[in-house]
Structure 1
Amino acid sequence: MCNPKITSSNYNTEQATFPLALEEGTGVPLPKKASPTFIPYNNQQGFAIFDIQDLVPANHVARVIDEMVELIDDELFFAHYKGGGRSSFHPKMMTKVILYAYSKKIYSSRGIEETLTEHIPSMWLAAGQQPDHRTINRFRSDHLKAMMDSLFEQMIHQLIEQNYITMEHYFLDGTKIEADANKYSFVWKKATQNFEGKLKVKIAETLQHIHELAAAEGIPLNEQVEEATPEQLEEMAEAMEEQINVFTEAIDLEEDTEKRKQLRSKRSEWKKPVKAIREDFLPRLEKYSQHHEIFGDRNSFSKTDPDATFMRMKDDHMKNGQLKAAYNVQMATENQFILYYSMHQRPTDTRCFLPHLEKLAASSLPMPKTIIADAGYGSEENYLYALGDEKEPRFDFLIPYGMYLKEKSASYKKKIKHAKNWTYLEEEDCFICPNGRRVAFKKYLNKKNASGYEQNLKIYECEDCSDCPLKALCTKAKGNRQVQWNPIYEEMKAKAKAALEDETKTQIYAQRKIDVESVFGHIKGNRSFRRFLLRGLEKVHTEFGIGPQPPESSQHAPATFSVLTNK
């Protein structure tokens, strides 16, 4: 029986002919009218695909992913499976399916599940198998998390062997990616410390009241301490509960109504502090203790994702510079291939430099010859780490310090308040200020920064600024002008400046913006990867590793597992 929507007359292969017709009143033949013709079509008719692989073009990204994953040794996958039980989906198949979905900007597990029934390349990569979204998410969160670093390192070794990269130039930069956390789930360290301080005052007042009650009844209690621990509060509550039981027994035995009222009143007075200890003091102390463990050296965290830190983002939802829960991604590239990446909870790039490179040194990858980064990494601590031992430096660096560009400007050189513009007498260890007065060495000062690194400063002070006509332009201090001078940092800055002003190295530093920043542009712009879907430091590390794939037309690959897409 024919489908009512399909009629054979729609598919005539020859033009229809009509009887000759004459235009009325003229006798002139009318022009022939041709009927429309179509290619035969019937979506209700069965058809067979003999090999689905033939429908995947030879240069398709799915074939690149397939070839790339097949290069990885099976043992790297199998080592993370215990064995026994029900058969699992093959880890290479799962990896291919996830990588292909991410290359199409499909990041959710349900979206990946959907590709297995709707995308022919995904169906081919899975060989017709259809793991559900829970299986996909579990593999991504658990198995890929365990094998991510080893898989990544093997891919980089493949690139080195095939001469795509040399690890000679290490272009380093960082970006912030929003966490999967509520925007208003923040917990601040200063606020927690403030609340905790007020609670301790309240506890001290309550303990004083308890001792007054005990003294009135002639009951001995432990000696009062300035700051009670949770264990001491628990002991105090138990001792008071014993006395409350004594009051209860006395009430039951007492027959006089007035005395019973008095006993009940006393019992009520004793119950109030116990209730405060049990229901208020101890739970809040426990909560604040947990908060401090989560904080570590951070100033904030999110209740939704405690590993995320609130950072100032360039594109906040309110467009007014608000903070968002995010992670700081440190990433290095060469020829727009990602060489290494690491996730951090610190908002500033300066304090991520050492942890990132220490993780790189602990991996199987070779250390780079030269690290190129922007002024956000230019600190004394970072310079000294790069320098290492004088006999055996770790690596060369092209990293400007914060004031590098300003010091080169004409306006900076004209301002007399900057001690760098003054004359320094090395033999006498003193500066000569613009008014010709001596600014002599006074004392040493040791100062710790936020990361705990100790800086050794020299303090210089002018002999007399009382009648100096230039004082208003030189300092706002009421007394004599003082200068804080860091000899070690100044030496490191001089080395950085000399390297940056070398003609050959200047061209290398100029390449930084093209190399690493364009990769971040691919990740956030072309791949729309601006927010994590998983929670927790280890899980977002995995998600970023498999996540930001390049567009198919991109020459190079700004992603961990897309490092061979330009092959």
Structure 2
Amino acid sequence: MSNQMITTENYNTQMTLFPETEEKKLSKRQLAPTFKPYDNRQIQVIFDIKALIPEHHVARVVDEMVEAVPDEQLFSHYKGGGRSSFHPKMMLKIILFGYSQKVYSCRGIENLIKENIPAMWLAAMQQPDFRTINEFRGERMKALMDELFEAMILKLIEEKYITMENYFLDGTKIEANANKYSFVWKNSTEKFEAKLKEKIQETLQHIHKLTQLEAGAEEKETEQNAEITEQNLEAVAKEIEEKVETLTEEIEKETDPKIRKEKRQERSKWKKPLKLIRENFLPRLATYKEQNEIFGDRNSYSKTDKDATFMRMKEDHMKNGQLKPGYNVQMGTENQFILFYTIHQRPTDTRCFIPHLEKLAATSLPMLKTVIADAGYGSEENYVYAIGDEKEPRFDFLIPYGSYVQEQTRKYKKDIKNAKNWTYCEQDDCFICPNGRKVTFKKYQNKKNPSGYEQSFKIYECEDCTDCPLKEKCTKAKGNRSFRRFSLRGIDKVHVEFGIVALAHNILKVAGIRQLLSEKNRKNTKGKWRKPNFFFPLALFFRTYRTAPPSLYCLHTMSIVKILHNH
């Protein structure tokens, strides 16, 4: 009986095992979640912050490039003595790193070195405030920018990133940190100055009548329309002041009321032109003189940044331009590295070609072999400069002239008014027009361009255009046809700021190349580096331009221009 009961209990126990198993499976889902230990209030010790930075991070490239600059080259710009300064290499590193991360304000860089691990490492945990950073960028770097840039380029040449053999030149207009409505135009200044001098002449003639004297010298100046200067007006004003003082003394001494009244009336006649000279003429002459000195060979400038010139800038895809204060930045590139740059106040690229290459020749950088530029640089003056002398040729160049692309069109080749489509007789030095008449050489004519370069032209004239049925198509003559925005103001500070942008761009480029070369999947590249996916959009590769048509010569540099505008 007991055995039977045991068996029954065992059986019952076995029968209840399956439901118990289900309960146990369900209970596992109700367990409390587990986490890794976390306590941000516990003291953490980082023995090497550098270990937290990836191997090919841009911060490492910044550190390497700046450390390559000799200490003596940087220390020479410090007088010595006084309170200890932050190390110039540390300041350079945090500024270059900030610009590489598109942080251009000094307050933003100050926040970087407090919150960003690579920036903390570059600063060695030091924390200069934004005023110190701004003073170093705006003042210290003005003296060492050119030397620093040359040292960086020489480092890139040494590591064979660039060769300086082929120099792609192009320019871009970048907006200045200035009010676009605070403009001063040279034409307006000249107009107002001319009107002022006319008014001054009238006043001087009135003064001469008041004196009732035969002042031969003054009359002679008036007749000859002598140039009116501040010194001449100042001399006239002093003479009038002496006259007024004399009358004042006479009035004080005079006892007769009638005579006193007459003398006061006479004094008031002299006071009116004196006030006009002191409060109107002299200040305005000084203002116009200052404006003309600021203009130089420019036609405009901004009141809030007197070095900036108003230029037409194309900002949208429709190329609708606006006149804004800015600078024309000229730069040469190779393999999308910026090799050299200059800042200009001239809107056109043509007149920037020679000054840019002259400054390049004055540096310690190796002289380039070939210059490639677009038609904006094509001019006789630039061609003559590039060719140089027979004894000392400068460099090879590939620069199409301004109308090259237009001349390749079918419309241009069929247009009869273009003399290049006419037949030329070398023996008689004449052209044959579409109507079969001779257009013979008439004379030489010399002209000077705005830069002072003198060009010689040959003038041809048709023997007779009378009753010519093609005259309206041939000529209209009645008779016979004979470059975002800078943060700093002033060209010196703008030069520094663009230098920082250019260095940051080159450093990013090095970092991208190194990261690409470190990737394991390089089977299809065959040892040649290609564009990393995270980096800027690139134009065609360098070797493409050796056989490219003229319309593609400067795509390489134009891509750099777009990159810098995106910055």
Match of 1:493 in 2: none
- Say which SS state the counterpart of residue 431 (structure 1) adopts: strand
Is 1:542 paired with 2:502? no
- Say which SS state the counterpart of residue 446 (structure 1) adopts: strand
Task: Report 1:28-427 matches (<5 A).
Answer: 31-32=26-27, 33-215=30-212, 223-224=218-219, 225=221, 226=225, 227-315=227-315, 321-427=321-427
How far residue 28 of structure 1 moved from its aligned partner, in angstroms, is 9.6
Partners of 1:311 and 1:554 in 2: CA distance:
35
- Say which SS state the counterpart of residue 330 (structure 1) adopts: strand
Q: Tell me, yes or no, if the aligned pair for 1:214 and 1:221 is still in contact at 8 Å.
A: no
Q: Tell me, yes or no, if the aligned pair for 2:173 and 2:326 is still in contact at 8 Å.
A: yes
Moved more, 176-185 or 127-136: 127-136
Q: Tell me, yes or no, if the aligned pair for 1:327 and 1:343 is still in contact at 8 Å.
A: yes
Deviations 1:471-501 (A, max 9, x none): 010011111122xxxxxxxxxxxxxxxxxxx
User: Which entry has the higher C-alpha Rg, 1 or 2?
Assistant: 2
Deviations 1:95-142 (A, max 9, x none): 111111111111111211222211121111111211122211111122
Q: Tell me, yes or no, if the aligned pair for 2:314 and 2:322 is still in contact at 8 Å.
A: no
Equivalent AA in structure 2 for residue 295 of structure 1:
F
Q: TM-score, normalised by structure 1?
A: 0.81
Partners of 1:219 and 1:253 in 2: CA distance:
29
- Say which SS state the counterpart of residue 235 (structure 1) adopts: helix
How far residue 41 of structure 1 moved from its aligned partner, in angstroms, is 3.1
How far residue 404 of structure 1 moved from its aligned partner, in angstroms, is 0.5
Partners of 2:83 and 2:490 in 1: CA distance:
29
Partners of 2:512 and 2:255 in 1: CA distance:
93
Q: For residues 268 and 219 of structure 1, do their structure 2 counterparts lie closer, same or farther at Cα, with a shift above 3 Å needed?
A: farther
How far residue 223 of structure 1 moved from its aligned partner, in angstroms, is 1.6
How far residue 554 of structure 1 moved from its aligned partner, in angstroms, is 4.3
Equivalent AA in structure 2 for residue 289 of structure 1:
K
Q: For residues 407 and 256 of structure 1, do their structure 2 counterparts lie closer, same or farther at Cα, with a shift above 3 Å needed?
A: same
Moved more, 28-37 or 139-148: 28-37
Q: Tell me, yes or no, if the aligned pair for 1:211 and 1:221 is still in contact at 8 Å.
A: no
- Say which SS state the counterpart of residue 136 (structure 2) adopts: helix
Q: Tell me, yes or no, if the aligned pair for 1:422 and 1:433 is still in contact at 8 Å.
A: yes
Say what the alpha-carbon RMSD is for the aligned residues: 2.5
Match of 2:432 in 1: 432
Q: Tell me, yes or no, if the aligned pair for 1:153 and 1:365 is still in contact at 8 Å.
A: yes
Report the structure, 1 or 2, having the larger helix content: 2
Q: For residues 44 and 105 of structure 1, do their structure 2 counterparts lie closer, same or farther at Cα, with a shift above 3 Å needed?
A: same
Partners of 1:301 and 1:375 in 2: CA distance:
27
Q: Which runs of 5+ in 1 are unaligned?
A: 1-21, 483-519, 521-529, 561-567
Task: Report 1:456-467 matches (<5 A).
Answer: 456-467=456-467
Equivalent AA in structure 2 for residue 422 of structure 1:
W
Q: TM-score, normalised by structure 2?
A: 0.81
Match of 1:10 in 2: none
Deviations 1:169-188 (A, max 9, x none): 10000001111111111111
Partners of 1:114 and 1:101 in 2: CA distance:
10
Match of 2:487 in 1: 533
Q: Tell me, yes or no, if the aligned pair for 1:251 and 1:264 is still in contact at 8 Å.
A: yes
Partners of 1:221 and 1:542 in 2: CA distance:
57
Q: Tell me, yes or no, if the aligned pair for 1:171 and 1:334 is still in contact at 8 Å.
A: yes
Q: Tell me, yes or no, if the aligned pair for 1:475 and 1:481 is still in contact at 8 Å.
A: yes
Q: Tell me, yes or no, if the aligned pair for 1:62 and 1:121 is still in contact at 8 Å.
A: yes
Deviations 1:326-366 (A, max 9, x none): 01110011111111111111011000000000001111112
Partners of 1:453 and 1:28 in 2: CA distance:
100
Match of 2:563 in 1: none
Match of 1:451 in 2: 451
Partners of 2:334 and 2:120 in 1: CA distance:
34
Q: Tell me, yes or no, if the aligned pair for 1:328 and 1:345 is still in contact at 8 Å.
A: yes
Q: Which runs of 5+ in 2 are unaligned?
A: 1-18, 514-530, 537-556, 561-567
Match of 2:541 in 1: none
How far residue 31 of structure 1 moved from its aligned partner, in angstroms, is 4.5
Match of 1:501 in 2: none
How far residue 219 of structure 1 moved from its aligned partner, in angstroms, is 9.1
Q: Tell me, yes or no, if the aligned pair for 1:107 and 1:547 is still in contact at 8 Å.
A: no
Equivalent AA in structure 2 for residue 339 of structure 1:
L
When the two structures are aligned, how many residues end up with a matched partner? Answer: 487
Q: For residues 370 and 269 of structure 1, do their structure 2 counterparts lie closer, same or farther at Cα, with a shift above 3 Å needed?
A: same
Partners of 1:107 and 1:531 in 2: CA distance:
11
Moved more, 356-365 or 384-393: 384-393
Partners of 1:72 and 1:195 in 2: CA distance:
53
Q: Tell me, yes or no, if the aligned pair for 2:343 and 2:495 is still in contact at 8 Å.
A: yes
How far residue 49 of structure 1 moved from its aligned partner, in angstroms, is 2.3
- Say which SS state the counterpart of residue 314 (structure 2) adopts: coil
Partners of 1:320 and 1:124 in 2: CA distance:
45
How far residue 301 of structure 1 moved from its aligned partner, in angstroms, is 0.9
Match of 1:512 in 2: none
Equivalent AA in structure 1 for residue 104 of structure 2:
Y
Partners of 1:452 and 1:148 in 2: CA distance:
31
Partners of 2:110 and 2:319 in 1: CA distance:
35
How far residue 263 of structure 1 moved from its aligned partner, in angstroms, is 2.0
